[in-house]
Structure 1
Amino acid sequence: MFTDFALLRLLQLASPALPVGAYSYSDGLENLVETDVINNQKSLCMWLEQELQCGAIRLEAAIMLRAYDCTNSNNCEGLSYWNSWLTAIKETTELREQSWQMGGSLIGLLRDLQPQQKMQNLVSAVGKPCNYAIAFGLGAAYWQIDLKAAVLGYLHSWASNLIGAGVKLIPLGQTTGQKLLLQLDTRIALTTQEILTLEDEDLSSCGWGLSLASMAHETQYTRLFRS
């Protein structure tokens, strides 16, 4: 049963106010706007839908799910394995450091919020550096958040952050940003269902656009974001 307590913890974990630094990253979006690949609501929506269908965010959410399962079964070895696996698939330094920075911040926050020995043991098992998806899955499982709701929250948080970046960069109005978030509801729900059924051997993504945008971001003349 999805309790009131679990819902409140999910809202806290997925909130833009969570102090993990998500607002400072654009996942390559800054370069895509700079090069006019994305320049309006329609092109931003198409990009986000494409990422949800076949991009790296699917892998992130799938590994978050595995971290959730490992936490519930107290599988410390599994937590360490999937953390290393996620680090290995990052295609650029910026994307890797983003995941590490956000993950480290969330792990530190969870330690402060839940000082119980069980949380300390789980955090220690992951090791350093910790990827964000691993920390999110650990927190969701510890707080007994429904698995499907955790995936929905993870994807919704990602979409909200990138739409916020798009509102600033393109720029778009705040109302347009909210309309865009509503447009993604169906795609987020479908992606969640697909992720819940993925076997380990099915874990893959096709995100050349993100990789190229991330690599080009380093040499941009001006930058507002860290990725």
Structure 2
Amino acid sequence: MDNTIMLTDSHLLTILQLASPALPVGAYSYSEGLETLTENGAIANQANLKHWLEAELRYGAIRLEAAVMIRAEQTAKIGDLKALCRWNLWLSAARETEELRASSWQMGRSLIQLLGKLEPQVMPIVNAVGNRCNYAIAFGIAVAHWQINIQAALLAYLHSWASNLITAGVKLIPLGQTAGQQLLLDLQPLISLAAKEILTLEDDQLSCCSWGLSLASMQHETQYTRLFRS
């Protein structure tokens, strides 16, 4: 992956908007198992959280999501709606818990609805995917429609994921805001490396090791007190 990314002002502003925590898709309401892990003491400080996020970037489900986001962008760009729907179903099947699948569908549905209001011309693609659209698929559709450089889009997708979970960790552990910002800065080299690896993955290489995330997600449903939906 070339480290030089050329973006127009419009494309840069658009990807910043798409990856912004202010985007009304509800990402802030999910902890992806972090609430369970802090409750049981597995994540108790900044170092624990950093280790968890690093492991997810190297081996976890976020790599699958990002890889499918790329494929959604590619298929949406050429109008291959059949392949787009197939990847959406594939990603739904790859989600190991009902909670993770529901959160992906909710965020995807919210982004699809927003896209439909902002860009009515994208509605044929939106309607083809349906209500059970995963967030990665919706993100890829937006990237294709706005013709954003896929490398920049991938970095933004991973950075947004890390930022949301660090924000959850700041609230749950708790951590100071400065510690959260330091952690996000420390993750930059790994985010860049993960993006480089994900861009080269072939379809038959799509896999992850996320049993820790799955167990934490399943236990979250019965947690006594919760700040997050799942």
Bin of the TM-score, shorter chain as denominator length: over 0.9
The superposition leaves residues 15-35 of structure 1 with CA deviations (integer Å, 9 ceiling, x where unpaired) of 000000000000000000000
Q: Which residue of 2 aligns with 1:83?
A: 88
Aligned equivalents of 1:148, 1:126: Cα separation in 2: 24
Match of 1:24 in 2: 29
Aligned counterpart for 2:62 among listed residues 49, 57, 68 = 57
1:224 alignment partner, one of 221, 227, 230: 227
Deviations along 1:32-59, whole A, 9 cap, x unmatched? 0000000000000000000000000000
Over the matched positions of the two proteins, sequence identity in percent amounts to 65
Q: Which residue of 2 aligns with 1:38?
A: 43
Question: Residue 194 of structure 1: which of 181, 186, 197 is its match?
Answer: 197
CA offsets, 1:122-147, max 9 Å, x none? 11121221000000000011111100
How far apart, in 2, do the equivalents of 1:120 and 1:20 lie?
Answer: 18
Output the TM-score relative to the length of structure 1.
Answer: 0.98
* TM-score, structure 2 normalization: 0.97
How many residues were matched structurally?
225
Distance 2:126 2:140 in 1: 12
Q: CA deviation at 1:115?
A: 1.1
- RMSD over aligned CA atoms reads 0.6
Distance 1:74 1:9 in 2: 21
Separation in 1, partners of 2:13, 2:80: 26
Per-residue CA distance 1:44-98 (angstroms, 9 max, x = gap): 0000000000000000000000000001111101110000000001111110000
Distance in 2 between the 1:125 and 1:85 partners? 15
From 173, 182, 196, the counterpart of 1:170: 173
Structure 1: runs of 5 or more not aligned:
none
1:153 counterpart = 2:156: yes
Could you tell me which residue of structure 1 aligns to residue 14 of structure 2?
9
Task: State the one-letter code of the partner of 2:81.
Answer: C
**Structure 2 portions without partners, runs of 5+:** 1-5
Query: Matched residues in 2 for 1:30 and 1:210: separation?
Result: 11
